[in-house]
Amino acid sequence: MISYRVGFFSSIVLAGLLAVAGCSSTKNPENASTTAATVPAPETKKEVTTGARPDATTSSSLDALQRGQSTATPASSPLKDIYFDFDRYDLRADARETLKTNWAWLKANPAAQIQIEGHCDERGTTEYNLALGSRRADSVKDYLVTLGATADRLSTISYGEEVPVCKEQSEDCWQKNRRVRFVVQPAKPTS
């Protein structure tokens, strides 16, 4: 079932569009919204070569999935994932502490552009999970801005349930999938 969803999702991304929304177990949430976002085709993305430390995560979860690699953030990454409770997008105390550490790295690397990926576990509809993933990414971006980050350095995307770290059907596995992941993006042209 996961491979069908990933295939479906990949075809959407390759077409250049991704519906961005949020994650939960509710089938038709009243407050879920969708926004279209353009996602560059994987072959057009470039590895970061300047402005970031070499151990920074520079590959999106989708790129890693398409290459058959782990979608987990490497332990060597200076930007650590944060995790969420089931059907929630508010930041826990441990997430706020991790975000403060991530903010310290961002301050030390002022040229770094960051994509904030929202992820969910497999429970709930695809649409709802895209919406919850979006809310998770937005709540992280908003918190980083309150710490002092400029919003133009941060972009968000939701992968919903489509790019899991763990594929078992257990609470331990689902917890690993309810996350926000950080990816250092290629520097924007200055002219």
Q: How far apart are CA 121 and CA 162, in angstroms?
A: 9
Query: Are 23 and 128 contacting, i.e. CB atoms less than 8 angstroms apart?
Result: yes
Q: How far apart are CA 20 and CA 133, in angstroms?
A: 8
pLDDT of residue 6: 42
Architecture per CATH, 2-185 = 2-Layer Sandwich (3.30)
Q: What is the pLDDT of residues 6-62, one digit of tens each?
A: 444 443 333 333 333 334 443 333 333 333 333 333 333 333 333 444 456 678 888
* Share above pLDDT 70 across residues of the chain, in percent, rounded to a whole number: 68
Residue 151 CB burial class (10 angstroms; 0-12, 13-18, ≥19): exposed
Rg (CA), the chain: 16
The average confidence (pLDDT) of the chain is 77
pLDDT of residue 191: 58
Q: Is the pLDDT of residue 156 over 60?
A: yes
What is the biggest distance separating any 2 CA atoms in the chain, rounded to whole angstroms?
49
Amino acid at 95: A
List strand residue ranges (DSSP E) for the chain, in order.
Answer: 17-20, 35-38, 82-83, 113-119, 154-160, 179-185
Amino acid at 150: T
The residue ranking higher by pLDDT, 176 or 37, is 176
